[in-house]
């Protein structure tokens, strides 16, 4: 079994889900007392959040490279970044290390293509929705078109993520807002919805929707296990 390197803490609530899913999947696949060989370096999300909202992406990139190199020195065979937004600097991180980085958008695209979908809605932070690093990768590498909510709805999603979910708060009124936004994306042609922030699955569950939801936390964690035991 390869050793999984995780860069976490963005937020710790979603990193907890990564650790749980990875170990449950290993136990399911291998049985008995098996658990994952893993190393996690958890950043201080306060520092990351400030850099994001101040637009200091160069400093954020340096922070992520430092984290990746720490995980590599710790003995990881490959790395996953336990958040969607910080894949903005995934290419720079990959260039700074000698071990593979498994991209969350690639793992998600694999699941979307398995269902034969061509057009999906993308929910996440404003950075993930509005900047091109995520949608462009889906489009150019996997042939998937990702559409996003309108500006007002993007702000609603962003605010719920940072003001509630990253603080561990789950509110029914926010579930209702997400349902409306997802319905609007479906009306605009989305055949499925990418939950493109690792905190969103804390609020949104597939059983509440007819449209396919792609839980990037679970998909990425299971993708890492497959890579580790293959």
Domain ranges of the chain: 4-102+219-229, 105-215
Tallying the residues shown for the chain, one arrives at: 230
The catalytic residue positions are: 83, 197
pLDDT value at position 73? 98
Instruction: State how far the alpha carbon of 87 is from the alpha carbons of 29, 101, 104, 191, in Å.
Output: 28, 10, 8, 24
* 102: DSSP letter: -
pLDDT of residue 19: 97
Cα angle vertex 139, ends 138, 143, to 5°? 95
**Mean pLDDT, 10 residues at a time, the chain of 230 residues:** 96 92 97 96 95 95 98 98 95 98 98 97 95 95 97 96 88 94 97 92 91 96 97
Q: What is the DSSP letter of 3?
A: P
Whole-number pLDDT of residue 20: 97
pTM: 0.93
Q: What is the pLDDT of residue 211?
A: 97
Omega of the bond prior to 166 within 30 degrees of 0, cis? no
Q: Write down the residue that tokens 């804390």 correspond to.
A: 202
The fold for domain 105-215 equals Rossmann fold (3.40.50)
The CA distance from 56 to 149, in Å, is: 25
Say what the pLDDT of residue 166 is. Answer: 83
Q: Do domains 4-102+219-229 and 105-215 have the same CATH topology?
A: yes
Q: Residue 7 is inside which H or E element, if any?
A: strand 4-8
Q: Report how far residue 129's alpha carbon sits from residue 51's, in angstroms, rounded to the nearest whole number.
A: 18
For 64, phi and psi rounded to 5 degrees? Answer: -70, -35
Which residues make Cβ contacts (< 8 Å) with residue 169, sequence separation at least 6? Answer: 163
Neighbours of 85 (CB within 10 A): 25
C-alpha closest to that of 14 among 149, 183, 167: 167
Cβ count near 153 (within 10 Å): 19
- At residue 131, the 3 state secondary structure works out as coil
CATH assignment, 4-102+219-229: 3.40.50.1860
The closest alpha carbon to 18, from 170, 165, 218, belongs to 218
């Amino acid at each position: 079994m390869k050793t999984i390197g995780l860069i976490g803490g963005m937020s710790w609530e979603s990193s907890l889900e990564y650790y749980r899913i990875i170990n449950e999947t290993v136990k399911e696949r291998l049985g008995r007392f098996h658990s994952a060989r893993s190393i996690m370096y958890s950043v201080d999300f306060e520092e990351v959040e400030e850099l994001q909202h101040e637009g200091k992406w160069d400093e954020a990139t340096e922070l992520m490279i430092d984290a990746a190199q720490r995980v590599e020195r710790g003995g990881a065979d490959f790395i996953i970044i336990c958040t969607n937004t910080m894949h903005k600097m995934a290419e720079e991180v990959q260039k700074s290390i000698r071990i593979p980085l498994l991209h969350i958008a690639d793992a998600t695209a694999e699941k979307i293509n398995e269902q034969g979908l061509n057009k999906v809605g993308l929910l996440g932070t404003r950075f993930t929705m509005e900047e091109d690093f995520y949608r462009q990768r889906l489009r150019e590498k996997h042939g998937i078109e990702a559409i996003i909510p309108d500006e007002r709805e993007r702000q609603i999603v962003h605010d719920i993520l940072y003001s509630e979910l990253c603080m561990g708060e789950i509110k029914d009124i926010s579930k209702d807002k997400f349902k409306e936004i997802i319905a609007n994306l479906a009306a605009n042609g989305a055949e499925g919805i990418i939950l493109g922030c690792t905190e969103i699955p804390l609020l949104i569950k597939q059983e509440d929707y007819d449209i396919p939801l792609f839980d990037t936390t679970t998909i990425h964690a299971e993708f890492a296990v497959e890579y580790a035991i293959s």
